[in-house]
Amino acid sequence: MGSINIPYHKSEQKISIQKRFIQNIIESDVDDIEPDQDETEIVEKALDEPIDSPPLSQLAKNNDEALIITSDHTRPVPSSITLPILLNRIREANPEIKVKILIATGLHRAPTKKEQIDKFGKKIVENENIIVHDSKDHEAIEKVGTLPSGGELHLNRNLLQTDLLIADGFIEPHFFAGFSGGRKSVLPGVAGYNTVLGNHCAEFISSNHAKTGILKNNPIQKDMLYAADKAGLDFILNVIINSEKEIIRAFAGDYNTAHQQGVNFLKDKAAVKNERTDIVITSNGGYPLDQNIYQSVKGMTAGEACCKEGGVIIMVAGCADGAGGESFYKEMAQADSPQKVLEKTRKKSRIETIPEQWEYQILARILSKHTVIMVTDKIEPDIIKKMHMKHAKTLEQALEKAREITTQDAKINVIPEGVSVIVR
């Protein structure tokens, strides 16, 4: 009997499963890395050795204003470490420079004051000029070009009014953009509402290139690269974190080549072999990525990649914030079946894209071939059931239900952190 711990909200769900039922425990090799420096030293070293870029100090020296794009409360970027270092580097080189911090919310809700303090630290929140991006604020958004896909590119005006544009973030596998980080800070991070919708259209989401771990020929990435170029993104600091949300590597410099080096490093550690089973247990790696069902679809895609058709994906996620989006919930709950959701969505043109369409499109795709059991005690079960999924309070209950749907001796793949792996 083997005991397995799965990240859940701010703790874990535990289960004991006989080893004969476990086909694979699928994990990234990232957690095997033991850095010989602490997190601050890792970041400082990356800034000391920028990739295809002058040092940040040199970039800051002769400019009057700088803008740092940073991630919002839904991303586990260790901003309380990265932002102070960036600010110090900029101000050491140019004490008179004016610095603004722009929180990249994309289409997410604005973070609360508490969430900002939890993420950035009290000192930064109380002393820095922080702007929260609002994709619907037409006064703050400006058209700057036409994307390769044909859509209009609208960006936060603060990007266009600064002398030095910097982005911090983290690199992880992403379920349709391929990888997070780099240019993604600009689009969708600080782009206009309709620009994000067009970039996340049904046509692109259906592309075989818009998958976890794929950047080449990814139509979503093509638009993102163009957006970063038009924004004039001068410099990035991207980190890679382990399951404890600790920095193990950092990459700084040119927004394209520095990001690509980080991607190459992570791809080597995160790629795992695809061996399908009847039951897959997965998660979103705990809080903050599992705070709602919307975000949890990411972890489900890892389960989808190694679950047999007709099999069961057990998704362990706190979902303390509920479904995570009104359109996301309504489109699933009001549909007769996931197949109907897919049929309706795939008929929509780019300009007909609505908020959260991409998320329910992917969820419907998963549910059209698999049963999903959500494991949580932090959300009303009825919400889950109306979205065509099953509910269990514990992993034990979920596994019992999964075996009733499949077989009592079904083989199981376990992915403790579904968002951290690239299943080939």
Catalytic one among 9, 73, 174, 200? 174
Q: Is 138 a catalytic residue?
A: no
SS (H, E, C) the chain: CEEEEEEECCEEEEEEECHHHEEEECCCHHHHCCCCCCHHHHHHHHHHCCECCCCHHHHHHCCCEEEEEEECCCCCCCHHHHHHHHHHHHHHHCCCCEEEEEEECCCCCCCCHHHHHHHHCHHHHHHCEEEECCCCCHHHEEEEEECCCCCEEEEEHHHHHCCEEEEEEECCEECCCEECCHHHHCCCCCECHHHHHHHCCHHHHCCCCCCCCCCCCCHHHHHHHHHHHHHCCCEEEEEEECCCCCEEEEEEECCCHHHHHHHHHHHHHHEECCCCEEEEEEECCCCCCCCCHHHHHHHHHHHHHCEEEEEEEEEECCCCCCCCCHHHHHHHHCCCCHHHHHHHHHCCCHHHCCCCHHHHHHHHHHHCCCEEEEECCCCCHHHHHHCCCEEECCHHHHHHHHHHHCCCCCCEEEECCHHHCEEC
Is there a catalytic annotation at residue 174? Answer: yes
Task: Supply the residues annotated as catalytic.
Answer: 108, 174
